[in-house]
Amino acid sequence: MFFFIALAAAGVLLGAAAHTTLPQFLLAGAVIGAWLLAFGVREGAGWLRHR
């Protein structure tokens, strides 16, 4: 079941990316990457503080 959900999600994301220009796609990827990095740093700092 997980494989089917992952495959469907990848299809939706790739389909959405195909309808955007390359600069928009790269900008969106950079924004998502920055958000994930900030989230990871925040979670890591919280884990160290409560250790």
Residue 51: band (very low, low, confident or very high) from pLDDT cuts 50, 70, 90: low
Predicted TM-score of the model (pTM): 0.60
Place of tokens 């503080």: 49
Q: Which amino acid is at 19?
A: H
pLDDT at 20: 87
pLDDT at 1: 85
Place of tokens 């958000």: 35
pLDDT at 14: 80
Q: For 11-49, write each residue's pLDDT tens digit.
A: 887 887 778 898 998 898 899 999 999 999 998 877 777
- Please provide residue 21's backbone torsions phi and psi, each rounded to the nearest 5 degrees: -80, 165
The span from the CA of 2 to the CA of 8, in Å, is: 10
